[in-house]
């Protein structure tokens, strides 16, 4: 029998390694929603609150970054046609990263701002440096650099900046040394994390995955390239001027560039969708489309926050953060997970049987009806939460968080179904 040899099996790391990151991330997502629901009454307040900071790190480190690590271990070798530098390092990284996340989340929860929080931040930094080293060495062997590779390289740079800024913030909470406003550094930490790290990955990977899933090709990548340079100038500019006084004018310029960069990214996505051959949207793509629209809405709100004095409007920062984490990033991750996880499991188990015996299709790997229900629940929960947070309705927040929790359990159920197939 002729063995199936393929790009996926030739370059991708063992399925076990990627699955470990994905499982930890999915569990974090359910936990995140459970904690939100448990503390709904405390959420409606100032965003610099220990519980919110704790839950926020379950979202950013446990859910979002964990899934990006797993996805990058899988995608970087496949997309760039090279082997991951070290699978062993990726394994070690997981066991340093996981206690780091748990430690930091716990320290925020009980507001232990002493050495334990700093130690957790050191573990996280160590794991992120190992990750960056692993990916950078992997990328060094790439002969053909494409737009995706540029975005991923930039994302790694911002991951390191985010990690170091996070560590400095932790040390500052332990032994105050930062002369500037702590909240200002927090602002930088959060924005470099969401735009520099998470969004750069999302953007780079979107240019590769969305055309693949929608059968779209023959489109120019001009907007993707423009977005890359504009975003980087904006992000580096903001990171530099925040250390100086009287920089309001430059702040507006660089913020404007970041907004412009996101607009160019969304225009590129629109072009990819317009060129698609596969007209029907499956559930994974439906989630993704809503996520891109939410990025547009979030950018409008972000622009408003940056350019307008909004101090009198309560909860706006919280609403902004919620839109980024749930409306944009989680929506997109869930959508992409409905595409990537079934494929990985399917490939692992059924690839060698194609054409020789009946094999399931990717959409048969999970309960599509449940995924549809999850989709509508998630949208309802996002808009319900935004409305309730805006108008300070505690009962509305509770109902919306309950709906989001239910949707996350459905997601967990479907992911377990796929893994057990």
Partner 1 sequence: MANKEEILEVLKGVIDPEIGINIVDLGLVYEVESNNEANVITMTLTTPGCPMHSSISAWVENVVGHLEPEKKVIINLVWEPKWTPDKMTDEARQELGHIG
C-beta of 112 vs 368, nearer to partner 1: 368
Position of tokens 């409007």? 313
Residues lying near partner 1 in the complex (CB under 8 A) are found at 1-8, 10, 78-79, 211-213, 215, 217, 277-280, 339, 343, 346-347, 350-352, 354-356, 359, 361-363
Which pair of tokens denotes residue 346?
């399917």
% helix, strand, coil for the chain, step of 5: 80, 0, 20
C-beta of 111 vs 281, nearer to partner 1: 281
**To the nearest whole angstrom, how small is the minimum distance from the Cβ of residue 343 to partner 1?**
7
**To the nearest whole angstrom, how small is the minimum distance from the Cβ of residue 366 to partner 1?**
13
- Is residue 393 helix, strand or coil? coil
C-beta of 5 vs 246, nearer to partner 1: 5
**To the nearest whole angstrom, how small is the minimum distance from the Cβ of residue 188 to partner 1?**
36
C-beta of 150 vs 343, nearer to partner 1: 343
Which pair of tokens denotes residue 421?
């197939």
**To the nearest whole angstrom, how small is the minimum distance from the Cβ of residue 346 to partner 1?**
6
C-beta of 176 vs 355, nearer to partner 1: 355
Q: Supply the DSSP string of 48-104, one letter for each residue.
A: --HHHHHHHHIIIIIIIIHHHHHHHHHHHHHHHTS--S-HHHHHHHHHHHHHHHHHH
**To the nearest whole angstrom, how small is the minimum distance from the Cβ of residue 278 to partner 1?**
5
| Burial of 361 from C-beta contacts in 10 A (0-12 / 13-18 / 19+) | exposed
**To the nearest whole angstrom, how small is the minimum distance from the Cβ of residue 265 to partner 1?**
22
- Where would I find the H helices in 308-367? 316-322, 331-350
Residue 138 phi, psi (nearest 5) = -60, -45
**To the nearest whole angstrom, how small is the minimum distance from the Cβ of residue 153 to partner 1?**
20
C-beta of 137 vs 277, nearer to partner 1: 277
C-alpha dihedral sign at 303, 309, 310, 311: positive
Contact in structure between 118 and 170 (CB atoms under 8 Å): yes
Query: How big is the CA angle at 60 (ends 198 and 105), to the nearest 5 degrees?
Result: 155
C-beta of 219 vs 251, nearer to partner 1: 219
As beta bridge partners, residue 216 has: 276
């Amino acid at each position: 029998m002729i063995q199936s040899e393929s790009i996926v099996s030739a370059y991708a790391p063992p399925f076990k390694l990627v699955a470990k990151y994905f499982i930890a991330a999915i569990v974090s997502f359910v936990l995140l929603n459970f904690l939100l629901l448990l503390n709904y009454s405390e959420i409606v307040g100032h965003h610099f609150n220990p519980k919110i900071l704790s839950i926020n790190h379950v979202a950013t480190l446990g859910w979002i970054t964990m899934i990006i690590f797993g996805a990058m271990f899988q995608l970087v070798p496949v997309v760039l046609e090279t082997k991951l530098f070290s699978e062993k390092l990726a394994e070690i990284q997981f066991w340093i990263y996981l206690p780091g996340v748990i430690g930091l989340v716990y320290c925020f929860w009980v507001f232990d701002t002493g050495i334990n929080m700093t130690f957790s931040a050191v573990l996280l930094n160590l794991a992120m440096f190992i990750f960056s080293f692993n990916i950078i060495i992997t990328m060094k062997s790439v002969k053909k650099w494409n737009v995706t590779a540029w975005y991923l390289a930039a994302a790694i740079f911002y991951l390191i900046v985010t990690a170091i800024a996070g560590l400095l913030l932790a040390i500052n909470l332990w032994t105050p040394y930062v002369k500037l406003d702590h909240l200002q550094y927090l602002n930088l930490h959060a924005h470099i994390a969401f735009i520099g790290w998470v969004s750069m990955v999302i953007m780079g990977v979107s240019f590769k995955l969305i055309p693949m899933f929608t059968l779209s090709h023959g489109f120019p990548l001009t907007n993707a390239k423009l977005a890359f340079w504009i975003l980087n100038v904006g992000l580096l500019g903001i990171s530099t001027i925040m250390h100086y006084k009287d920089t309001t004018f430059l702040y507006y310029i660089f913020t404007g560039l970041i907004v412009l960069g996101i607009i160019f990214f969304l225009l590129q996505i629109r072009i990819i969708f317009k060129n698609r051959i596969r007209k029907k949207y499956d559930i994974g793509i439906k989630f993704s489309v809503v996520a891109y629209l939410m990025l547009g809405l979030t950018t409008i709100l972000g622009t408003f926050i940056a350019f307008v004095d909004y101090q009198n409007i309560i909860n706006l920062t919280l609403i902004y953060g919620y839109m980024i984490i749930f409306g944009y990033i989680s929506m997109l991750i869930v959508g992409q997970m409905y595409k990537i996880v079934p494929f990985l499991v399917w490939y692992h188990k059924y690839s060698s049987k194609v054409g020789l015996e009946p094999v399931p299709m990717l959409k048969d790997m999970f309960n599509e009806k449940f995924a549809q229900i999850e989709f509508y629940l998630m949208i309802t929960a996002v808009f319900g939460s935004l409305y309730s947070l805006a108008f300070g309705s505690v009962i509305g927040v509770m109902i919306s968080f309950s709906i989001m929790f239910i949707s996350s359990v459905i997601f967990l159920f479907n992911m377990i179904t796929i893994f057990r197939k």
